[in-house]
Structure 1
Amino acid sequence: MSDRVTTVVMTRDRWPDLQVSLPHHEPPVVLVDNASADGTPQLVGRHHPDVEVLALTRNLAAPARNLGVEAARTPYVAFADDDSWWSPGALDRAADLLDAHPRLAVVHPRILVGPEERLDGLCAELARSPLPRLADLPGPPIAGFVACGVVVRRNAFLETGGFDAVVAFPGEEERVALDLLAGGWHLTYVEDVVAHHHPSPSRDPGGRRRARIARNHLLTALMRRPWPVVLREVGSVLGGRDLPAARGLLQAVRRSPRALAARRVVPGHVEDLLALLA
């Protein structure tokens, strides 16, 4: 049992995936169930009594993870989905790095996908991050992460307000990453911290998911980016021929009042980093 890292797992109606992933997790583990209809909370309680289950009465989407973070009693939290888990020793390694680097808020692992364990495409991009190297970081500086496998400093994550209901899911990580950078925190990619992701066969259809990703990227821009950037992002969608992205734009318009109410533009040094990535 770790006294430094709690694993927070988010799930909804995926007991078959949890049967595979939960045995890989080292305690303490908090499972947040988004109002499953398949009996997941009861099944987890029966087969994995050492897992703390937070059974929600409605689907909160990604913000449900916030409740798991609040319930954690360790300084660091490792996120996992019902179809992902951590390699043995990975969380101890991440905790050592967070102990050694007080302004480090996110340790992003090397994620191996599927039974063939191919490198996640995002990880290849993170390893080549063009952001200026910092002497006191254990890996390349980055400006984003994926929540199916990442270790965060609990107090830094809570400082951002956690995942929000405006975006909900997917793409919920982008605004949190921007707020961490704005708060002077660092994010880094570390090759020797390893997570595994075996994408569930019950994932949303590709077109619907792409529309939601486009919607949430635009909403995040509306909440945190300067107006010229927002207009550029909207123009990119309008000028393209991507039907899911166009649907995402319409969905973003409907949620725009809530995004505008939460608007707080990131400082210039964060925009400078994003310009390097662009």
Structure 2
Amino acid sequence: MISVVIPTCDRSTNFLYKAVTSALTQTLKPIEVIVVDNGIRDADSAALPEGVKRFRLPPRIGASRARNFGAAMAQGSHVAFLDDDDWWDADFLREAWAVLQAEGTRCVYGRKDVLRHEVPQPYKCPSPQGMTIPRILRRNPGTGGQNLLIEKALFFSIGGFDEALKMSEDKALALEVLLAGERISVAPRAIVVLRHHDGERLRNTPFHKLGFLWKYRNLYGPLGGLRAIVRITHKTLRSLFLLFSIRH
């Protein structure tokens, strides 16, 4: 029924093990857990319990390509994605699947919590009202590569994750689902916990968002595109200022 795909790239053993075991110990058992390794170093075997399927890809090919490869290898009718530095609550798949079945949809996003001072705290919970094209164009309502459950046939019919995008590939996938005429469900009780740490996260380079803006320039229109560029530039300059202040 559900295959789980976890891309990993030079992640610490403890983080990866936590992610993998959270998938293996779901109250609604997945039929398989697939780890797609695209790091410079091989993932530590200690982080991969027995039964996990591991595929080795060339180093640093990117999370989107790794996710797409994992989905292509998946045997389930549905695919759930999890990042290698986050973990699911034990009922994530059960809650997400229940909403998918109750609402008759093919794609559902769960809730994001964040680990602060070793305690998970609410971070982002998508709402049905936020899952519209205009709102997703303006900001990320809570889509991600760690809180998504989607029918495999739908995933590939819209092209999977856009491998050309360096950032916002999660928003792009949600947009493509909507542009295909599908509804997106929200499962507020399907919880993923995100870590804040010193490792690399894709969302930390604001100018990479320009690729998303260019891809959907026709949806933004001239004025909307200009406003988006201004927001991105402002965030980038603010980040550079904070970085400069810390170093000096």
SS of alignment partner, residue 19 of structure 2: helix
Q: Report the counterpart of residue 10 of structure 1 in structure 2.
A: 7
**Normalising by the residue count of structure 2, what TM-score does the alignment of the two structures yield?**
0.76
Using the alignment, how far apart are the partners of 1:10 and 1:108 within structure 2? Answer: 18
Query: 1:129 — aligned with what?
Result: 129
> Is 1:39 the equivalent of 2:42?
yes
Write out aligned runs for 1:49-198 (5 A).
Answer: 49-61=50-62, 62-102=64-104, 104-114=105-115, 115-120=118-123, 122-123=124-125, 126-127=126-127, 129=129, 145-167=143-165, 169-198=166-195
Cα shift at 1:19: 2.5
- Counterpart residue type for residue 129 of structure 2: S
CA distance in 2, matches of 1:193, 1:72: 22
Unaligned runs of 5+ in 1: 133-141, 247-278
Q: What is the rounded CA distance, in whole Å, between the counterparts of 1:7 and 1:205 in structure 2?
A: 21
8 Å contact from structure 1 (residues 221, 229) kept in 2: no
The number of aligned residues is: 223
In structure 2, distance between residues paired with 1:7 and 1:113: 21
Work out the CA distance in 2 between the residues paired with 1:131 and 1:57.
34
Shift of 1:210: 2.6
Q: Calculate percent identity across the aligned residue pairs.
A: 22
Name the SS for the 1:193 alignment partner.
strand
Give the deviation of 1:143 after TM superposition. 7.0
Once the two structures are superposed, residues 67-96 of structure 1 have per-residue CA deviations (whole angstroms, 9 ceiling, x without a partner) of: 111111111111100112222232123223
Q: Decide whether aligned partners of structure 1 residues 236 and 70 sit closer, same or farther in structure 2, where only a CA change above 3 A counts.
A: same
Given that 1:11 and 1:32 are in contact with CA atoms closer than 8 Å, whether structure 2 keeps it comes out as yes
* Per-residue deviation, residues 94-140 of structure 1 (Å, max 9, x unmatched): 223323444x23211122211311111x32xx2483679xxxxxxxx
Shift of 1:8: 0.6
Q: CA RMSD in A?
A: 3.0
User: 2:237 is matched with which residue?
Assistant: 243
C-alpha distance in 1 between matches for 2:56 and 2:96: 28
Corresponding letter in the other structure for 1:153: E
TM norm structure 1: 0.69
Q: Is the 8 A contact 1:143 1:177 kept in 2?
A: no
Amino acid in the other structure paired with 1:243: L
State the match for 2:135 in structure 1: none
> Distance in 2 between the 1:39 and 1:15 partners?
11
1:10 and 1:65 in contact (8 A); partners too: yes
* Cα distance change on mapping 1:89 and 1:66 into 2, 3 Å: same
Contact between 1:90 and 1:195, CA under 8 Å: does it hold in 2? yes
Task: Tell me if structure 2 keeps the 8 A contact 1:31–1:51.
Answer: yes
Structure 2: runs of 5+ lacking an equivalent? 25-29, 133-139, 241-248
C-alpha offsets along residues 32-66 of structure 1, whole Å, 9 cap, x if unaligned?
A: 112x12321xx338842311111101322122201
State the alpha-carbon separation in 1 of the partners of residues 147 and 198 from structure 2: 18
Residue 147 (structure 1) shift: 1.1
Relative to structure 1, is the Cα distance of residues 244 and 6 closer, same or farther in structure 2, using a 3 angstrom cutoff?
A: farther
Select 2:213's aligned residue among 196, 218, 221: 218
